[in-house]
Amino acid sequence: MNQNQLTPTETKYLKILVKKHILLPTKFKKPLVKGWNKYYAEYRSIEKMLSLNQEYSLRTGTPLGNYYFIVIDLDDLWAKERIKTNWFIETNKGIHRYFFIGELPKSCWLVNQHGDKIGELHSKGRFVVGIGSIHEQGTRYSLRGKVNQKWSLRMESLRKLQEFLTHRNIFTTPWGKKGKENIRNLELYQPKTKS
């Protein structure tokens, strides 16, 4: 198998995310289209984007039925032990964990109990590099875990997601802030209103 081809298991589990409003062509984690966060729709397949750039991304905070697609992105040394789940996407420095949630949270930083940054929660207006992509250092974003286990988690509320994170000693701060004094509960995303 070519390094940037999807495995049959990855293709099966990505099926729910192969939507024109979620897929995004990227290279070196940079969008290749202007207006990607507004009205852009991608009609090429994941395989086509991988063959062109060895990379594609998934837009987070996007609706899928009654849920929103968000991603926990952990980059610390203990990410796999910290997340304590059967499925995750192995990245160059850590892991991604996909979630479908009924209430859309604001994007925020993920920190440990001391307020040190360990990752991000990607929601509306953000994206993550997709499974099968090749990092510029040669690492493949790969789906890892036990077969026949849930690979994405579905939650109805921010409260449930907050419990999931807190149980794993993962805390949240507003985007761009770290430090124990900035730890806050998740906040509901509110679109900016024009005045």
Q: What is the pLDDT of residues 116-138, one digit of tens each?
A: 999 999 999 999 999 999 998 88
Q: How do residues 5-56 score in pLDDT, each as one tens digit? A: 898 888 988 999 999 999 999 999 999 998 898 878 899 999 999 999 999 9
Q: How do residues 140-174 score in pLDDT, each as one tens digit? A: 999 987 766 666 789 999 999 999 999 999 999 99
- Dihedral sign for Cα atoms in the order 20, 22, 27, 30: positive
Residue 77, CA atoms < 13 Å, CB-side half-sphere: 1
CA distance 103 to 113: 25
- Provide the mean pLDDT of the chain: 90
From the centroid of its chain, how far is CA 135?
A: 15
Residue 65, CA atoms < 13 Å, CB-side half-sphere: 7
pTM of the model: 0.92
* pLDDT for the residue 149: 62
Query: What are the C-alpha distances in Å from 27 to residues 4, 31, 55, 120?
Result: 14, 7, 6, 20
Domains of the chain: 8-182 (3.30.2250)
Whether 2 shows a pLDDT value over 60: the answer reads no
Q: How do residues 54-66 score in pLDDT, each as one tens digit? A: 999 999 999 999 9
CA distance 68 to 156: 10
